Chains A and B, each alone.
Chain A
Amino acid sequence: DAGITQSPRHKVTETGTPVTLRCHQTENHRYMYWYRQDPGHGLRLIHYSYGVKDTDKGEVSDGYSVSRSKTEDFLLTLESATSSQTSVYFCAISRTGDTEAFFGQGTRLTVV
């Protein structure tokens, strides 16, 4: 299995608070991704990174920011959490960006 660790695995937070999710990889893959999974929507890309300090938006990036200061870490921040951001968040990594991507175990975030 690809070495991907997401933390925390579960989090409950209040509306309006900032939240940061962490993805850590040990594979030295260039590409890292944040997805959210919601019923009826499948997996939707939030942001992705193609190198240290190189990031770009996905299809559902509003309300989220990311940072990648090291190859192994990709952080997803909800600046001010809203109930619509209650979801399961998955981090993924890919060596080349156009072949296989490997996923972490997910973080279940509940915003109350």
Chain B
Amino acid sequence: DQQVKQNSPSLSVQEGRISILNCDYTNSMFDYFLWYKKYPAEGPTFLISISSIKDKNEDGRFTVFLNKSAKHLSLHIVPSQPGDSAVYFCAASTGNQFYFGTGTSLTVIP
């Protein structure tokens, strides 16, 4: 059964606006959460992460929010740029394994 879920297969956003990508998880033992970005024919690239002891982590235009009580993770991209168009995977770790969601394809419209 999928322990990390991304329920939105795709998202379209206008350039300059905010992109919000969501992720839910079921395993309360996850202690580290990550977001990856993937372009076609390339490997996933690490974007940003957050430990379970925090509720927010920011890196430039990217912010990850963690709501442990809701078992929910989100990635905010502000402002969105056309180069952000890619598939985004969320992932969670228990200590030696990473579990990935199915991905959300983000399209940023110029």
Contact surface of A with B, Cβ cutoff 8 Å: 4, 31, 33, 35, 40-45, 48, 50, 58, 90, 92, 94, 97-106
Q: Is A45 in contact with B98, judged by CB distance below 8 angstroms?
A: yes
**Across the interface, which residues of A come within 8 angstroms of B103, CB to CB?**
42
Interface of A is mostly: strand
Known: A99-B32, A101-B46, A104-B43. A42 touches B96 (CB 8 A): no
Q: What are 29 residue pairs bridging A and B, where the CB atoms are less than 8 Å apart in the complex?
A: A31-B96, A42-B89, A42-B103, A43-B44, A45-B97, A45-B98, A48-B96, A48-B97, A50-B96, A58-B97, A97-B93, A97-B95, A97-B96, A97-B97, A98-B31, A98-B32, A98-B95, A98-B96, A99-B32, A99-B49, A101-B46, A101-B91, A102-B46, A103-B43, A103-B44, A103-B45, A104-B43, A106-B41, A106-B42
Question: Please, how many angstroms separate the alpha-carbon atoms of A78 and B98 in the complex?
Answer: 22
Question: Please, how many angstroms separate the alpha-carbon atoms of A97 and B94 in the complex?
Answer: 9
**Across the interface, which residues of A come within 8 angstroms of B36, CB to CB?**
103
Closest residue on chain A to residue B32 by CB atoms: A98
Known: A97-B95, A100-B46. 10 other contacts (CB 8 A): A45-B97, A58-B97, A90-B43, A92-B98, A97-B97, A98-B31, A101-B98, A104-B43, A105-B42, A105-B43
A4, A43, A45, A50: which contacts B89 (Cβ < 8 A)?
A43
Q: How far is the CB of B36 from chain A (nearest CB, A)?
A: 8
